């Protein structure tokens, strides 16, 4: 397994390098960072807090952020929504599954987004930000994906400190988090994209593995990604160089908490602030379409493994999204071609809700987590947080309808409002967890 920093660096002609670890060592000292790396990841997935307590406290924070900002707490700025279809064109190496029947067609709907809001009014697609793609195939097959192979936290215990460090603007919290979890900078640099030429040129990853069961009952850890169409299924996938941060941006991201220096366009940038939306509109207008390839990566597990009980035969490090699976042993395989031909109005796109895969037939589901230290606790939090924020948005929408107001999401201002309550909440949760040895398992 390799870290995010090594992703795609062996590609012939590659010139871009993720300098995250190098820059962290330069700033804090190699000896300190090497010691932090040795203690960075937990070895016992059951050593943390109660998973129900953890997911509840974190989901409440996301709901609070939704209420304060009156919109999605993350990926607020909608680049656009698109509709079309997905046709299964499964790699012959894939196991037999009702999910991968060649020729099967799903209705598809996609929402593209910028993950980070600006500190000043007005949206600007030329800023640096992680970019998102959420897609629904049919009625219950959702994939929520971001640029970058890794999430910026690897378990629930790391979530509150991360959110406190990245939302408060506090340099001390940012420094403390970076020194404690040095791999976060590799994950950050890999996911942030500066002024990409088009959303269609980027790679999007689910990042955290989910549970997949084939028709014979075999169990796998599965990751998904969306890549440009290229020459079609089975063809070479070009490296994701579009929008990668240069050395100056990488140093800015390491040295100061975002969005400082990152939410402004570079000198000489002349494209329209909403050029990514205009690009997508142009691509789906007339006879043109937008196409993506959906791929899956599978890691075999003991039959029937759910993650909800301890299994000493399973190496839990495979669920650590900061460590990537060896692509020679666990290759990415095509399973569907997505064709988008309809641009959806912004208010329609912002009304879309997505979640993690949870197929009624059990084909796809989220792994159980033993505690907050379990790597699978990332998705446990996501599931509950998505539900909480979606409920809050629906309640706010009913309130706006009752009072005859426009929804905040529909104005597409893309501004980070200056509220202090949410960062204070994340900070209090992080402090509570770091100053007590109580484990509520």
Among residues 379, 435, 385, 425, the alpha carbon closest in space to that of 167 is found at 425
Q: Which pLDDT belongs to residue 400?
A: 54
Mean pLDDT of the residues in the chain? 83
Say what the pTM is. 0.87
Q: Which pLDDT belongs to residue 397?
A: 62
- Cα–Cα distance between 133 and 120 in angstroms, integer? 24
3-state secondary structure of 306: coil
Tokens standing for 16? 């871009």
Percent of the chain with pLDDT over 70: 80
Neighbours of 175 (CB within 10 A): 16
pLDDT band of 61, cuts 50, 70, 90 = confident
Q: Which pLDDT belongs to residue 424?
A: 61
Q: Is beta strand 141-146 parallel, antiparallel or unpaired with respect to 192-194?
A: unpaired
Q: Which pLDDT belongs to residue 234?
A: 85
Dump pLDDT digits (tens) for 112-126.
998 876 655 678 999
- Cα–Cα distance between 412 and 409 in angstroms, integer? 6
Dump pLDDT digits (tens) for 155-198.
988 888 888 888 777 888 899 999 999 999 999 999 999 999 99
Cβ–Cβ under 8 Å, residues 100 and 334: no
Rg, Å, the chain Cα set:
21
pLDDT band of 13, cuts 50, 70, 90 = very low
Cβ–Cβ under 8 Å, residues 204 and 132: yes
Q: Which pLDDT belongs to residue 5?
A: 43
Tokens standing for 289? 């379409």
Tokens standing for 62? 């996301």
For residues 262 and 88, which has the higher predicted lDDT (pLDDT)? 88
pLDDT band of 12, cuts 50, 70, 90 = very low
- Cα–Cα distance between 205 and 133 in angstroms, integer? 9
Dump pLDDT digits (tens) for 207-236.
999 999 999 999 999 999 999 998 888 888
Dump pLDDT digits (tens) for 279-315.
999 988 866 789 999 999 999 999 999 998 888 899 9
Tokens standing for 108? 């598809």
Q: Which pLDDT belongs to residue 1?
A: 44
HSE toward the beta carbon, residue 408, CA cutoff 13 A: 19
For residues 1 and 320, which has the higher predicted lDDT (pLDDT)? 320
Cβ–Cβ under 8 Å, residues 47 and 373: yes
For the ranges 2-6, 41-45, 358-362, 382-386, the one whose mean pLDDT is highest: 41-45
- Cα–Cα distance between 335 and 102 in angstroms, integer? 8
DSSP class of residue 357 equals -
- The torsion angles phi and psi of 38, rounded to 5 degrees, stand at -65, -25
Q: Which pLDDT belongs to residue 7?
A: 45
Q: Is beta strand 219-228 parallel, antiparallel or unpaired with respect to 210-213?
A: antiparallel
Cβ–Cβ under 8 Å, residues 439 and 166: no
Burial 110-144 (b: 16+ CB within 10 A, else e): bbbbbbbbbeeeebbbbbbbbbbbbbbbeeebbbb
Cβ–Cβ under 8 Å, residues 132 and 142: no
Q: Which pLDDT belongs to residue 310?
A: 86
Please determine, for residue 6, whether its predicted confidence score (pLDDT) is greater than 60: no
Percent of the chain with pLDDT over 90: 50
Handedness of CA 315, 318, 320, 324 (dihedral sign): positive
Q: Which pLDDT belongs to residue 316?
A: 92
Q: What DSSP line would sit under 122-142, residue for residue?
A: S--TTSEEEEEEEEEETTTEE
Q: Which pLDDT belongs to residue 18?
A: 94
Q: Which pLDDT belongs to residue 197?
A: 94
CA distances from 237 to 225, 226, 294, 295 (A): 12, 10, 11, 11
For residues 30 and 173, which has the higher predicted lDDT (pLDDT)? 30
H runs (alpha helix) in 168-274: 171-180, 184-191, 247-255
pLDDT band of 22, cuts 50, 70, 90 = very high
**Partners of 233 in the β-ladder:** none
Tokens standing for 243? 């929008």
Q: Is beta strand 219-228 parallel, antiparallel or unpaired with respect to 204-205?
A: antiparallel
Q: How far is CA 31 from the centre of its chain?
A: 31
Candidate from 151-160, 178-187, 366-375, 380-389 with smallest mean pLDDT: 380-389
**Partners of 113 in the β-ladder:** 78, 132
- Cα–Cα distance between 221 and 306 in angstroms, integer? 10
Please determine, for residue 40, whether its predicted confidence score (pLDDT) is greater than 70: yes
- Would you say how long the chain is, in residues? 441
Angle, CA of 385, 389 and 390, to the nearest 5°: 115
Please determine, for residue 377, whether its predicted confidence score (pLDDT) is greater than 80: yes
């Amino acid at each position: 397994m390799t870290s995010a920093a090594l992703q795609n660096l062996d590609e012939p002609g590659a010139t871009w390098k993720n300098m995250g670890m190098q820059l962290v060592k330069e700033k804090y000292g190699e000896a300190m960072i090497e010691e932090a790396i040795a203690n960075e990841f937990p070895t016992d997935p059951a050593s943390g807090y109660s998973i129900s307590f953890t997911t509840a406290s974190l989901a409440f924070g996301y709901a609070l952020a939704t209420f304060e900002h009156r919109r999605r707490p993350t990926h607020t700025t909608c680049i656009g929504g698109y509709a079309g279809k997905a046709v299964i064109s499964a790699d012959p190496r894939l196991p037999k599954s009702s999910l991968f029947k060649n020729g099967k067609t799903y209705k598809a709907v996609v929402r593209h987004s910028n993950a980070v809001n600006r500190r000043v009014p007005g949206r600007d697609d030329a800023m640096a930000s992680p970019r998102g793609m959420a897609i629904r195939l049919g009625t219950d097959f959702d994939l929520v994906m971001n640029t970058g192979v890794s999430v910026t936290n690897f378990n629930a215990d790391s979530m509150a400190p991360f959110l406190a460090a990245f939302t408060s603007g506090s340099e001390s919290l940012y420094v403390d988090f970076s020194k404690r979890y040095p791999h976060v900078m590799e994950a950050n640099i890999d996911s942030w994209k500066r002024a990409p030429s088009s959303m269609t040129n980027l790679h999007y990853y689910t990042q955290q593995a989910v549970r997949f069961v084939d028709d014979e009952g075999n169990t796998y850890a599965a990751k998904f990604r969306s890549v440009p169409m290229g020459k079609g299924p089975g063809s070479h996938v070009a490296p994701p160089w579009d929008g990668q941060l240069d050395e100056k941006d990488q140093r800015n991201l390491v040295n100061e908490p975002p969005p400082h220096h990152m939410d402004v366009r570079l000198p000489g940038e002349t494209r329209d602030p909403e050029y990514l939306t205009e690009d997508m509109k142009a691509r789906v207008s007339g006879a043109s379409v937008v196409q993506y390839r959906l791929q899956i990566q599978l890691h075999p597990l003991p039959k029937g493994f759910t993650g909800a009980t301890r299994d000493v035969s399973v190496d839990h490090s495979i669920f650590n999204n900061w460590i990537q699976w060896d692509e020679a042993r666990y290759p990415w395989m095509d399973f569907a071609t997505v064709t988008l031909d309809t641009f959806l109005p912004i208010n329609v796109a912002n009304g879309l809700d997505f979640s993690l895969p949870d197929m009624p037939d059990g084909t796809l589901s989220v792994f159980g987590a033993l505690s907050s230290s379990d790597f699978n606790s990332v998705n446990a939090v996501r599931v509950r947080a998505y539900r909480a924020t979606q409920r809050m948005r629906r309640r706010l929408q009913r309130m706006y309808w009752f009072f005859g107001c426009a929804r905040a999401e529909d104005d597409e201002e893309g501004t980070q409002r200056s509220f202090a309550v949410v960062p204070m909440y994340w900070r209090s949760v992080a402090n509570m967890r770091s100053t007590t040895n109580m484990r509520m398992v």
